[in-house]
Amino acid sequence: MAKRPNIRFQSLTGLLLATALLLVLNLLSQQFFLRLDLTAEKRYTLAKPSRDLAKGLKDVAYFKIYLEGDFPAGYKHLQKATLEILEEYRAYAGANIEFEFEDPFEKAGTQEEKDKITEQLYKKGLQPMPVKLDETDELSTKTIIPGAVVSYQGKEFPLNLMRQQFFPGANNEEELNKSVENLEYCISDVLRKCVTEKKKRIGFTAGHGELPRDELASAANGLMESYDVERIKLQDLPPVELNKYDVLVVAKPDSIYNPYERFKLDQYVMHGGKVLWLVENVVADMDSISRYKEFLTPTIETGLEELLFKYGARVNYSLLSDLQCNFIPVIKQMQNGQPGQDMVPWTFYPILSSTSKHPIVKNLEPVWGQFTCTIDTVGGKGIRKTVLLSSSDHSRTLSSPVMISIKNSVVRQQDVGLFNKANLPVSVLLEGKFKSFFANYTMDSVPAELDFKSESPESRMIVVGDGDIIRNQVKRSTGEIYPLGYDRYTRTTFGNMKFIQNCIDYLLDGHGLIEVRTKEFQVRLLDRAKVKQERFKWQVINMALPLLLLFVFAGANNAVRKKKYG
C-alpha cells in the first residue's frame, strides 16, 4: 500500500516558503523602485520634471483639498483623479507630501455661514463654482470649491483643480476632461512655487508710451505669484544692469527707440535674454471712435521693426478683420425716452485660437484681440518658428491707413464673402541662435564693461502683433481693475491671462514643466442612451455572473478534492 503524503508537513512547508518569498520581495522592493503603468496614455506616469520636484521637497507639502461632499459624478471623477495623482507624487516624495480631502461646508448650518466660508477661500485664491445637482432641475444647484490650499514651510499657495468655464453652455464633460489632463501641471506648478528660493525677474519696459501701470495690473499681479515683477525705464538702465532681468516684456510702445536703446535690447538678446514683444504698427482704439465717430488709422515706427526682422518676424502694417469676433455695445434709437443699446459683432476684435499642439497654447481658451496686426515669418536662418495664435477660417486684412467707423465696420450679410483668408498668424514663437542686428555696424560708444556679442546662445522670444492682449480693462469712474481677458460689456472671460502666463513660463521654464501640459487623457464616457436601454440586462449579469462563477469554482474544487483524497 502506497504511503499517504503528510498533508500537514506539506502545508507547513508551503506556508514557510510563501512567507520567505514575501520577505525577500519586501527587501528587494526597498532597494529597487518599480511602478507599472498599463494605461494607453500613461496617465499614471509622472513626467521627469514632476518627479524631480517631488524628490526635491525639503519639508512637508500639505494639501488640504476641498473637493469632498455631494456633487455630480463628473466632479467625483476629478476627485478620484486628484487622489490618484497625489498618491503618485507621494511615491516619489515619500513623507514630504501629505493630503486630505475635506468638505468646507460640512459644519456650516446656514447659507450665511456658507457664504462666509466661500469668501474666505476666494480670498486665498480658490475659485468657487456653482454646479447643477440635477440636470433636469435648473434650480438644483450647489457651490463647490474644486481646489486646494498647499502649505509649505509657513507659506500657503492656492491650487485650482478645475478650469474655469469661459463660455456659457460649455461642455461639462469636456471641461472636466481637460481639467484632469491639466492636474499634473497644476500640482507641479505649485510645488515649483514651494521649492523656488529665488524668484526670476521680469522687467516691464517703460518710457516709450507702453501701457500704463493700471492697464498692466492684472497681468503683473498674476505673474507676481511666481516671479519678481518690476517696471523699468530702458533709457535709464545701463546695458549690464539690463542683463539682470530674466525676461523683458515690451507692451505696446508708440514712440521711437533711439539707436543706443535698440543696441541695449539687441545685446540683451545676444547675452541670452528672453523677450515677449507685444507690438503693433497701426494706431487704432475705441476711444478714437467714441470721440470722432470715424477715424483714419495712422501707422507708427518704433525702430523695433528692424530688430524683429533680423530675428525672423515682421509685424505687418495691416489690421486683422475676422468674422469670429467679440461684440461691442452700440447706441440705437431712443426707446421710452431712454437710449437703447445693441451688442453687435466687431470684426476688429478677433477671437484668436490655435491649431498648434505647442504647450503654450495647448488646451488654451480663445484669446481676445483688439485691432490686431498680422505677422509674417521672414529670414532668420536657423531660427525655428512656431505660430501660436492665428485668425479663424473667415478673416481678411486691411492695409493701413484704414477708415474705421461703427457705421461702416459692422458686418452685413453681403460682406461675408470678403472674409476669404484663413489662419493668419498674429503670434509667433522664435527659437534658436539669433544674429545681432549690430554685427556689421560700428557704434560710436560701447560701454567697456559690456561684452559685445554678434550671436546669442540658444534662446527664445515671442512676438505678438497686438499689445492689447495684455491690457486689462479699467473702470475710469471708480478705478476698478478688471481681470485680464474679461470683457465687462459682454461679461465674457477669454484666455488672455493664461496665454501671457504660459508665454512667460515657457520663456523662463527651468524645470521643464511646460512639457507636462502636452499630456492628453481620453475619458471613455458611457453611452447614456445605451445605458438606459440595457440597464436591467447588465444589472442581472452583474448580480448573477459572480454567483455562477462561485458555484462553478466550488463544484470543480469539490470534484478535485474527491478525486485526490477520496
Give me the CATH number covering residue 514: 3.40.50
pLDDT 10s digits, 9-63: 777 787 788 888 888 877 776 555 555 655 655 666 788 888 888 998 999 999 9
Q: How many CA atoms lie within 13 A of 205 on its CB side?
A: 30
Cβ-based neighbours of 188, under 8 Å, separated by 6 or more: 47, 49, 50, 53, 511, 513, 516
The whole-number pLDDT of residue 475 equals 87
Q: H/E element holding 557? A: helix 528-565
Q: Are residues 227 and 367 in the same domain?
A: yes
pTM: 0.74
Quote the cell numbers at residue 82: 486628484
The whole-number pLDDT of residue 253 equals 94
Number of compact structural domains in the chain: 2
Q: Are residues 180 and 273 in the same domain?
A: no
Of residues 346, 320, 365, 307, the one with CA closest to residue 500: 365
Query: What is the maximum alpha-carbon separation in the chain?
Result: 117
Q: Are residues 283 and 364 in the same domain?
A: yes
Q: Are residues 496 and 360 in the same domain?
A: yes
Q: Are residues 68 and 145 in the same domain?
A: yes
Of 193, 226, 253, which residue sits at a domain end? 193
Domain assignment of residue 259, yes or no: yes
Q: For the stretch 85-122, what's the b/e string if a residue is b when 16 or more beta carbons lie within 10 angstroms of its beta carbon?
A: bbebbbebbeebbebebeebbeeeeeeeeeeebbeebe
Of 518, 536, 555, which residue sits at a domain end? 518
Domain assignment of residue 187, yes or no: yes
Domain assignment of residue 157, yes or no: yes
Asked if 462 and 427 touch (Cβ cutoff 8 Å), the reply is yes
Quote the cell numbers at residue 257: 527707440
The whole-number pLDDT of residue 166 equals 40
The whole-number pLDDT of residue 285 equals 82
User: With a cut of 50, which residues of the chain have pLDDT below it?
Assistant: 1, 165-171
The whole-number pLDDT of residue 335 equals 61
Euclidean distance between CA atoms 235 and 135, whole angstroms: 59
Q: Are residues 505 and 405 in the same domain?
A: yes
Domain assignment of residue 124, yes or no: yes
Q: Are residues 146 and 219 in the same domain?
A: no
Quote the cell numbers at residue 276: 515677449
pLDDT 10s digits, 367-388: 999 999 999 999 878 899 999 9
Q: Are residues 170 and 248 in the same domain?
A: no
- Bridge partner list, 435: 455
Domain assignment of residue 159, yes or no: yes
Q: Are residues 204 and 125 in the same domain?
A: no
The whole-number pLDDT of residue 412 equals 61
Asked if 471 and 216 touch (Cβ cutoff 8 Å), the reply is yes
- Bridge partner list, 367: 352
Asked if 48 and 512 touch (Cβ cutoff 8 Å), the reply is yes
Domain assignment of residue 215, yes or no: yes
Q: Are residues 173 and 229 in the same domain?
A: no
Euclidean distance between CA atoms 397 and 393, whole angstroms: 13
Of 159, 193, 227, which residue sits at a domain end? 193
Q: Are residues 105 and 227 in the same domain?
A: no
Q: What is the CATH number of the domain that holds 173?
A: 3.40.30
Domain assignment of residue 39, yes or no: no
The whole-number pLDDT of residue 167 equals 42
Domain assignment of residue 35, yes or no: no
Q: Are residues 388 and 504 in the same domain?
A: yes
Residue numbers of the domain that contains 354: 200-518
Asked if 372 and 467 touch (Cβ cutoff 8 Å), the reply is no
